[in-house]
Structure 1
Amino acid sequence: MSLVHPEDWRPQGIDYLEPRAWEALRQTERSVLVTAGAGAGKTEFLAQKATYLLQTGRCPAPKRILAISFKRDAARNLAERVVRRSPPEQARRFNSYTFDAFAKSFLDRFRAAVPDAYRPPANYRIAMPRRQDYREFLDRHEFHGINADQLEQAVARARLPVSDEGSDLRRAVAAYWRAQYNEPDDVLLSFAMINRLVEYLIRENPSILKALHLTYPVVFLDEFQDTTFAQFQLLRTAFDGSDAVFTAVGDDKQRIMVWAGAMPDAFAQFEQNFGAKRISLICNWRSHEDLVRIQHVIASRIDPNVEEPEARADRLVGGDVAAIWEFETEEEESDCLARWIEREVRAANVEPHDVAILVRMRANEVEGQLSAAFEEQGLRLRNVARNVGDIAIQDLLGEDLVHILLRLLRLGATSRSPDNWNAALLDLQFLEAVDPADETGQQLLQGRLQTFVREMRRTLRELDPVPESAAEAAQAALDFIGAEVLRRAFPSYRRRPDFDRVWNGFTALLQVSLQNAQSWSGALDEFEGLGQIALMTIHKSKGLEFHTVIFYGLDNQTWWSLTPNRLEELNSFFVAFTRAKQRAFFTLCAERGRPVTWIENLLAPAGSRRVTAADLIDE
């Protein structure tokens, strides 16, 4: 395919890039740090820059772009945007991973090169250790002067190999690694340990390091403010001494993962270690002017020098766009929330799935408190933090396997679905490595897909949309693609336990979605959450957006740590507020706790007011 001259290139799929975005996009000779607030279009900027580099030959074939995000849905969203904006032969050279997926795929590919003492078997299992697990380990091995948090952080940061000599903490880390390898046929590795293994592997194998440098001259880093010490060290080990050019994007006002090991000074470290130029984006494409004004008040409390964003979205609603809703009891709170949402949905002001209820923590408890009242109003509340099998619903919906099989089921459940047809063809083209220019190969793929769709429609006509039919329908879609084909195509599925975890979650959620379905299309809508109000934690909401956001629990018991001197908690509050495109509300329940007065005082001058239950329902 012919390349585009850099001066002739134009944005793909959008009409406008702000001048600062153009500057950051064209910066290809040195690394750049793009600071961008909520709604600035960070993902779209990265997709445009990837398209620019591929289409102009600034990243020439066969070299690739490595993109690393923190969340699976963010990584997939970015990859899908590049696919929509670039020819297939170029888009295939854009590799989008989460940090964990990148490290795991690297380990699985080069496991044999890990030094003997730390080489895991091919059938290692993924562990998700809790604080209690670390505590029990310390007690069992009689390390009494160390707490669970210290051990967890030390395991995540220690460079391998770890000796038994030195401090008690160092000896505890060495003992922890031995314990995880204690059973040769049942090795347990956390993602933090996988990170350490990959850093060690790269450091000890110059030939692998050289291949990495040759493959990836361009590296994108999304949500860089949440980068951990270990992840940053892995990046430095992997790319120090190379000619790789980095583009990191993030917003330090959304740094809410310090508790999980994120670097408090990630931006400064990046500028120093990679010689990066900092460029700040100014537009907010998500929220309208009235919401952006309130967001800026919160942002200014976090960083007094922050620039005021330029709102680019239109206001589409009347009445309050931000308020604190005050209730006497939790029962009144649940009832009024349900009644208000039902009224808004009935008036066609908002779709149920474009409303999100955000909680600081314990989503399962809040689901129990709200469900009955919502059901009484004919609303369905979906707790995406809830597990189906061994995987959370929100994580499951970001899986490649789920997207591929869901498209096939959609084709079987409808008489015509061009979007799903085109997407399924692209899936087959990728999975079977058929060149887009191969007309014969493309015709064969279309013929195969047409035959499958006819058979799938016949199968679904014969199967009642009931839970007992879930396994057969799902298996029919999987058999068409082939489990082994999927496992070869996606590194995250190469180990059978990892594939089974997602496959079992897929069939389990399909079964749940069929419980009250009237049709297969209705069940698939249920599967994807259409017509349902999302319930999730703030941390899971990052990167998402909703028409209306309701934060459940702005009180001193739920958010006891929200104080003026704890910036990470204020960052969390900022993240919750900025998920909203049109409206953002907070609930305050006297039965649960007292107001966070200083936050109210901060927001009141910007137009946020307190609303009682009676006023809310009478509006």
Structure 2
Amino acid sequence: MDDQKTFNANQLAAAQWDRGPLLLLAGPGSGKTATLTARVARLVEQGRDESFRILCLTFTRKAAAEMRERLLKLVPEARDRVLLTTFHAFATDILRQHGSHFGLSPDFEILEEAERVGILKSVLEEKSDVLTRLVSAEKVLKAIDFLLRNVTPDANVSTLVKDAETGRQLQTLFVRYKEVLKERNCLDYGSILYCCEELLRQRPRLSAQLRTVYRYVCVDEFQDTNLVQYRLLRALVPDKDGNLFIVGDDDQIIYQWNGASPARVRQLEQDYELTTIQLPENYRCPPEVVELANALIMHNGDRAPHKKPLRSMKAGSGANPVELLAFEDDQKEAEGVAKHLATRLNDAVEPSDIAVLARSTKLLERVQVALSELSVRSHLQRRKSQFESAPLRFVTSALKLALVRSDDELAATVTKALSDCVDQDFSDDYLAQFSAALNGDQLEALGALMAESAAVPAELQTAISALVKGRYADFAKAALAYFDRVEHATEDNGKEQYTEYATERMLWQSIIREIGGEEEAYSLSLGQFLQELALANKTPEAPANSVRCLTIHGSKGLEFPHVYLIGLAEDQLPSFQSKKSGDESREMQEERRNCFVAITRTIETLTMSYGKRYNGWAKTPSRFLTEMGLMGPL
């Protein structure tokens, strides 16, 4: 294929890989996505007369959408031959088709965080006489997540807690929590994978059927997989010589808190007759940055054996692209970095070409304030799991109510969102009166309530009427068209309920595009549409004309011409917790990988900084500066 003419020898070998298990150890900026896409495109072209499909699993819908776009440019017929999706979306689809074995109907709900806490509270109340040591639903939720991602058998739960009685109570809670999910026809994010793995393990015929359909399986960003995801993979490709194409980099494992582990790469070698191809060539970073990255990461002992150092494929510019700044304290650091950055903007650099990275959000907040004082627009990314503006809260909660027709908590959420949208308070009691007259159908009651109120505009009344009649797409389009018009007319009035709407409306549109466009998205059943919404990332994109302020975790997979990495001091990067665990601990090695990931986001210049005091406490410069050779031993 034409795109392979520019490939180096390692990329070409991987792109032309045919059968059997392959591990592509691909360093940052190595062109791994182009290589993977070329390999998939070649398989589709060579198998034009065959009926097999290819499954490509990744970790974000955005990555899947971008890869799909690349692939379709190479091979348009790949649309019906390749499934490019995330682990969670794939598992959701399997459960939609086969969840009846667990008592789940296809339109099961995917819960948000607050709804999960609500269920745990109800279980704790239901079994208050037994669960005497588990009092905080929020704290228990973390334990539930751990049990789900580690596919913990019910019988083993009690052994994971030092105190025997607390362990027994956690086991009781875990079992009952899963029962309640199925009773209510809902799942949470973690139990989607947990239940799918259980289904494939208990129904080997289903696993065999999937293997017949998907002759080739590819996984991108393998280093981020946790145990339940790996178990899913093993169910799909159990044979030691299976057609499994793995792309990953053990030097970029920064999600150990979510179950990722360097041990998973070693497990691959035990489970498969694995061939490894390395992509050490780096096409992104200046040679000086590549040199720093190699010097840093060699201090980690828990790496793949015979790992090759990165090799820079870019010519040096002549000027040193690396700069280290020192400041008296964290406040001076924020102000100094902001001034340095503003000067760069005066040199015809676009704000979107610059990213400020840090280990913690707190440091980024200080930089954002300092940038604001210099009239530099910036965006601090904050992860969101649900829509927050009143209009989109109303639309999504009304859609959910349309699926179940009667749910007291959901009905209260809808009326609260409606009250915020139209500046009139609709009480739950008022809705309950209509509901009682309509045999408990709270959606129909909502329609009656809105039709009777003079505060509700005709456009919203028409929209809810369509929803009551089962036309959810007409409802969504009409309601959003009304809110668009109102937001446009009032954007200068600063109405609080619309402050997040414009950003979230663009996010809604991007989700619809990821699903496949309006025609495809709104042709889904209501249950499937809501599942797609629940799985979608609700974190807004940064405005085009702003400096990006990101945690290192948030920068994963991105690249920027100019990178600022701040807070390179002991107890910041590396963190206090990793120091407490020890110099050779897995936590310290992960902190080193965090630094490695951060500096390899760089395309042109890398500016690093540290303060001598943080929060009033004296700190020494980060050991990573010494390891990179930027400072002498401290």
Deviation at 1:493, TM superposition (A): 7.8
Amino acid across the alignment from 2:326: E
Name 1:7's counterpart in structure 2: none
Mapped contact 1:101–1:492 kept (Cα < 8 A): no
For 2:354, give the aligned amino acid. V
User: 1:187: how far off?
Assistant: 5.4
- 1:553 maps to amino acid: G
Amino acid at match of 1:156: R
C-alpha distance after superposition, 1:455-489 (max 9, x if no partner): x9xx99x9679477959997999999986730546
User: In the alignment, is residue 172 of structure 1 matched against residue 170 of structure 2?
Assistant: yes
Deviates further, 242-251 or 19-28: 242-251
Secondary structure, in 3 states, of the residue corresponding to 2:568?
Answer: coil
Distance 1:464 1:476 in 2: 20
> 2 CA distance for matches of 1:478 and 1:46?
24
Q: Where does residue 380 of structure 2 map in the other structure?
A: 383
Show the counterpart of 1:486.
521
The answer to whether the 8 A contact 1:75-1:97 is kept is yes
Asked whether 1:532 is paired with 2:546, we answer yes
For the residue of structure 2 that corresponds to 1:554, the secondary structure is: coil
CA distance 1:479–1:200, shift in 2 (3 Å): closer
Q: Which amino acid aligns with 2:554?
A: K
Following superposition, the deviation at residue 497 of structure 1 comes to 6.3
State how far apart, in whole Å, the 2-side matches of 1:217 and 1:479 are. 29
Matches within 5 A, 1:73-112: 73-86=62-75, 88-112=76-100
Distance 1:241 1:248 in 2: 15
Structure-1 residue corresponding to 2:110: 125
Contact 1:225-1:254 within 8 A present in 2 as well:
yes
Could you list the per-position Cα deviations for residues 426-450 of structure 1 after superposition, in whole angstroms to 9, with x for gaps in the alignment? xxxxxxxxxxxxxxxxxxxxxxxxx
Question: Does the Cα contact within 8 Å between 1:359 and 1:538 map onto a contact in 2?
Answer: yes
- Which of 597, 606, 609 aligns to 1:575? It is 597
Answer yes or no: is the 8 Å Cα contact 2:280–2:310 preserved in 1.
Answer: yes
* 1:208-219 correspondence runs (5 A): 208-219=206-217
For 1:539-558, list aligned pairs within 5 A. 539-558=553-572
With over 3 angstroms needed to count, the CA separation of the structure-2 counterparts of 1:335 and 1:53, relative to structure 1, is same
* Corresponding residue SS for 2:6: coil
Corresponding residue of 1:328? 328
2:36 to 42, 46, 51: 46
| Aligned residue pair count | 500
Shift in Å at residue 248 of structure 1?
A: 0.4
Residue 71 (structure 1) shift: 2.8
Supply the distance in 1 between the matched residues of 2:181 and 2:225 (Cα, whole angstroms). Answer: 32
The Cα of 1:585 is off from its aligned counterpart by: 2.4
- Name the structure 2 match of 1:347: 347
For the 8 Å contact 2:356–2:566, the answer to whether it is kept is yes
Task: State the match for 1:358 in structure 2.
Answer: 357
Q: Provide TM-score, normalisation by structure 2.
A: 0.69
Residue 501 of structure 1 and its aligned partner are, at CA, apart by: 8.6
Task: Tell me, in whole angstroms, the C-alpha distance in 2 between the residues paired with 1:165 and 1:260.
Answer: 18
Instruction: Give the unaligned 5+ runs of structure 1.
Output: 1-9, 393-455, 510-526, 611-619
1:33 aligned to 23, 34, 39, which one? 23
Instruction: For residues 71-94 of structure 1, give each alpha carbon's deviation from its aligned partner in whole angstroms, at most 9, with x where no partner exists.
Output: 3332222222212222x2124322
Question: Structure 1 residues 485 and 152, CA, compared in 2 at 3 Å: closer, same or farther?
Answer: closer
Q: Aligned in 2, Cα 1:538/1:135: closer, same or farther, shift over 3 Å?
A: farther
**Who is 1:222 aligned against?**
220
Question: What is the SS of the residue equivalent to 1:256?
Answer: coil
Which one of the candidate residues 367, 370, 373 is aligned to 1:370?
Answer: 367
Hey, what's the Cα distance between the residues in 2 that align with 1:104 and 1:62?
Answer: 24
Alpha-carbon displacement from aligned partner over 1:168-227 (angstroms, at most 9, x marks no partner) = 647734532422543777455332211111112223334432331122111111111222
Match of 1:19 in 2: 9
- CA apart distance, 1:282: 2.5
Paired AA for residue 530 in structure 2: R
Aligned to 2:435: none
Q: What's the secondary structure of 1:301's corresponding residue?
A: coil
Q: Flag the 1:166–1:298 CA change in 2: closer, same or farther, 3 A.
A: closer
Q: Is the 8 A contact 2:387 2:504 kept in 1?
A: no
TM-score by length of 1: 0.70
Q: Which residue of 2 aligns with 1:412?
A: none
Structure with the greater alpha carbon radius of gyration: 2
Residue 308 in structure 1 maps to residue 314 in structure 2: no
Residues in 2 aligned to 1:587 and 1:546: alpha-carbon distance in whole angstroms: 17
Which letter does structure 2 place at the counterpart of 1:37?
A: G
AA paired with 1:82?
L
Residues of 2 paired with 1:309 and 1:299: CA distance? 10
Asked whether the 8 Å contact 1:195–1:230 carries over to 2, the reply is yes
